[in-house]
């Protein structure tokens, strides 16, 4: 009978499989029964640079009937996921105008911190922890890694603001990882090797599945003899076992495709680690032509880590000084973003068309991540249903270095914490808080502080705060729930 099987022997039998962590929770306290069947909420922050063209970034249509599939739409690759998007128009980095340094330097720094820029050390740093680190402190204790910080391609050297979006409570940079092979080794170094003898791997998986079959059958028989709260606990137990069984099923499949293919398959995220990424030397990591491959490898690793519950918090920066794989050899910063106000034709159309390509490529990466998470069954849905992705930028008006109307997208199911599938205009159409601004250090009237979004996300993960970053900006962002 189930009640006669020891906790230790059961965990030992399932050791190394995706079953181990949820089953450890299952065999713990009464509260763990509920935890085992409630998929965890996860967070990913993705940072891309250089602003956008609002007329091509923002959806067409209304709040719930918005459309991303129109000519020059920068978000068109996300159309298939529109039911799991919250596109925010009118979010401002108000703290930079009233307390800090605007432009490129301030934007990446305040993106997840909500802090003003502190230059006392001779470096541009925040005065508090970033959101990912606060969430890691809240939920990271249940996983092997509190958080992971990834970088698709290092720009201007490791300490440059474009590479750092994750910060410790005292404002120090959290180191990021560039090499997918190194990330894989850190995540899955103690997991069964992909080169393990197929017969041995199949035997191990079969043994675990056989044990689960026994447990499910035994628990089903026992449930007929129980009533009330005890029966409910056992039903919760059974659902957990069935979820483990579904995940174990992915371990018996052949290793999935490489990161070059369009969509990662469920077996890629198997807790054996799947196929390890290829090794890149320093020169290859610094070769811009490799950035598309490196980006997808990092995204695949996030999906695998989430599927195996190795971490629940991740950040990824995706720069792009130029994009030769798109036929864009110009500097996207100086030659495109800062020239979006050019009026002479055909130069104007050429610059704007290339900027659309740049931002659409970024949107394709977010869609790829969403596809990967959606391929992982979890509970009654998928890992995407229980993930919140924050995709942000440092500029709204790129040509003017302005940090107002910063392009921001929330994606995923967010565990039901937010009402997705909407396009929210946070300020009246045409309003611009800079029209009445008195200059640095003075109030920015009519702005919508992005600190409020950080508060809302923190609260969704159970962090009891009413401010995030600078204390002048209080309360959550209205309209998300």
Residue 399 has pLDDT above 50, yes or no: yes
pLDDT of residue 150: 95
Q: Please state whether beta strands 422-425 and 85-89 pair in parallel, antiparallel, or not at all (unpaired).
A: parallel
Q: Which residues contact 87 (CB under 8 A, 6 or more apart)?
A: 58, 59, 66, 75, 408, 409, 422, 423, 424
pLDDT of residue 51: 87
Domain span including residue 351: 43-189+288-461
Asked if 75 and 411 count as a contact pair (C-beta separation under 8 A), the reply is no
Q: Is residue 57 part of a domain?
A: yes
450, 140, 370, 365: CA torsion to nearest 10: 70
Residue 33 has pLDDT above 60, yes or no: no
| Mean pLDDT, rounded, of the chain | 82
pLDDT: is 445 or 262 the higher one? 445
Asked if 403 and 394 count as a contact pair (C-beta separation under 8 A), the reply is yes
Residue 1 has pLDDT above 70, yes or no: no
Residue 375 has pLDDT above 70, yes or no: yes
When pLDDT is averaged across residues 42-50 and rounded to a whole number, the result is 94
Report CA 141 to chain centroid distance, whole Å: 18
Task: Give which of 296, 306, 481 is closest to 386, Cα–Cα.
Answer: 306
Residue 110 has pLDDT above 50, yes or no: yes
pLDDT of residue 231: 66
For residues 270 and 305, give the distance between their C-alpha atoms in angstroms, rounded to a whole number.
Answer: 9
Report CA 266 to chain centroid distance, whole Å: 18
Asked if 433 and 446 count as a contact pair (C-beta separation under 8 A), the reply is yes
pLDDT of residue 158: 56
pLDDT of residue 254: 33
Lowest mean pLDDT among 141-155, 294-308, 311-325, 344-358: 141-155
pLDDT of residue 15: 45
Cis peptide preceding 339, ω within 30 of 0: no
Q: What is the pLDDT of residues 216-255, one digit of tens each?
A: 777 777 777 777 656 655 665 565 566 555 544 543 333 3
Task: Give which of 360, 387, 359 is closest to 372, Cα–Cα.
Answer: 387
Q: What percent of the chain has pLDDT over 70?
A: 77
Kindly report the pTM of this predicted structure: 0.78
Asked if 403 and 97 count as a contact pair (C-beta separation under 8 A), the reply is yes
When pLDDT is averaged across residues 454-461 and rounded to a whole number, the result is 98
Residue 16 has pLDDT above 80, yes or no: no
When pLDDT is averaged across residues 447-472 and rounded to a whole number, the result is 97
Say how many domains are in the chain: 1
Report CA 390 to chain centroid distance, whole Å: 6
Asked if 228 and 253 count as a contact pair (C-beta separation under 8 A), the reply is no
Lowest mean pLDDT among 275-279, 451-455, 470-474: 275-279
Write out the two tokens for 78.
């996300």
Which range in 31-35, 238-242, 434-438, 458-462 is most confidently predicted, on average pLDDT? 458-462
pLDDT: is 297 or 234 the higher one? 297
Q: Is residue 436 part of a domain?
A: yes
Residue 28 has pLDDT above 50, yes or no: no
Asked if 335 and 364 count as a contact pair (C-beta separation under 8 A), the reply is no
For residues 455 and 476, give the distance between their C-alpha atoms in angstroms, rounded to a whole number.
Answer: 5
Residue 306 has pLDDT above 80, yes or no: yes
When pLDDT is averaged across residues 308-336 and rounded to a whole number, the result is 92
Q: What is the CATH number of the domain that holds 359?
A: 3.40.720
Q: Is residue 37 part of a domain?
A: no
Residue given tokens 């809302």 in the structure block: 456
Cis peptide preceding 346, ω within 30 of 0: yes
CA-atom Rg of the chain in angstroms: 24
Q: Is residue 217 part of a domain?
A: no
Asked if 188 and 277 count as a contact pair (C-beta separation under 8 A), the reply is no
Residue 27 pLDDT grade (very low, low, confident, very high; cuts 50, 70, 90): very low
Q: Please state whether beta strands 377-378 and 381-382 pair in parallel, antiparallel, or not at all (unpaired).
A: antiparallel
Q: Is residue 386 part of a domain?
A: yes
Task: Give which of 166, 74, 58, 44 is closest to 111, Cα–Cα.
Answer: 166
pLDDT: is 256 or 91 the higher one? 91
Write out the two tokens for 124.
């541009």
pLDDT of residue 333: 86
pLDDT: is 458 or 119 the higher one? 458
Residue given tokens 């914490």 in the structure block: 417
When pLDDT is averaged across residues 17-26 and rounded to a whole number, the result is 42
Q: Is residue 107 part of a domain?
A: yes
Q: Is residue 260 part of a domain?
A: no
Q: Is residue 320 part of a domain?
A: yes
Residue given tokens 């800062």 in the structure block: 338
Residue 192 has pLDDT above 60, yes or no: no
When pLDDT is averaged across residues 11-22 and rounded to a whole number, the result is 44
């Amino acid at each position: 009978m189930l009640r006669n099987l020891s906790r230790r022997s059961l965990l030992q039998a399932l050791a190394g499989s995706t079953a181990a962590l949820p089953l450890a929770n299952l065999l713990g306290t009464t509260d763990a029964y509920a935890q085992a069947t409630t998929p965890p909420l996860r967070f990913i922050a993705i940072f891309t640079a250089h602003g956008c063209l609002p007329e091509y970034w923002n959806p067409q249509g209304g709040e719930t009937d918005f459309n991303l599939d129109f000519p020059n739409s920068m978000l068109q690759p996300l159309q298939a996921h529109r039911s799991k998007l919250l596109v925010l128009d009118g979010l401002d980095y108000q703290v930079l105008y009233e307390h800090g340094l605007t432009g490129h330097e301030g934007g990446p720094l305040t993106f997840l911190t909500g802090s003003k820029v502190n230059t006392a050390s001779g470096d541009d740093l925040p005065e508090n922890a970033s959101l990912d680190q606060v969430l890691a402190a809240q939920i990271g204790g249940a996983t092997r890694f509190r958080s992971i910080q990834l970088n698709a391609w290092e720009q201007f050297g490791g300490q440059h603001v474009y590479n750092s979006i994750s910060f410790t409570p005292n404002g120090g940079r959290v180191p990021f990882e560039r090499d997918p092979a190194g990330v894989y080794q850190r995540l899955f170094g103690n997991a069964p090797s992909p080169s393990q003898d197929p017969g041995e791997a199949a035997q191990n998986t079969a043994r675990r599945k056989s044990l689960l079959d026994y447990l499910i059958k035994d628990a089903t028989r026992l449930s007929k003899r129980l009533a009330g709260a005890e029966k409910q606990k056992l039903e919760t137990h059974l659902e957990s076992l069935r979820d483990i069984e579904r995940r174990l099923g992915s371990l018996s499949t052949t290793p999935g495709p490489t990161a070059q293919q369009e969509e990662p398959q469920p077996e890629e995220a198997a807790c054996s680690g799947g196929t390890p990424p290829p090794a890149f030397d320093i020169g290859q990591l610094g070769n811009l032509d490799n950035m598309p491959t490196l980006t997808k490898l990092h995204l695949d690793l996030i999906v695998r880590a989430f599927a195996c519950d190795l971490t629940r918090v991740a950040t990824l920066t995706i720069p792009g000084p130029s994009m030769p794989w798109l036929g864009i050899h110009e500097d996207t910063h100086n030659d495109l973003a800062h020239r979006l106000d050019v009026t002479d034709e055909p130069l104007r159309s050429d610059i704007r068309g290339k900027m659309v390509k740049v931002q659409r490529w970024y949107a394709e990466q977010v869609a790829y991540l969403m596809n990967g998470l959606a391929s992982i069954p979890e509970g009654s849905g998928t890992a995407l249903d229980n993930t919140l992705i924050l995709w942000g930028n440092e500029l709204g008006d790129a040509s003017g270095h302005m940090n107002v109307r910063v392009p921001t997208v929330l994606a995923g199911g967010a565990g039901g914490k937010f009402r997705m599938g909407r396009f929210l205009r946070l300020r009246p159409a045409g309003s611009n808080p800079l029209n009445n601004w008195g200059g640095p250090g003075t109030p920015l009237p009519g702005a919508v502080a992005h600190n409020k979004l950080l508060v809302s996300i923190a609260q969704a993960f159970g962090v009891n705060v009413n401010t995030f970053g600078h204390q002048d900006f209080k309360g959550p962002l209205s309209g998300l729930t």
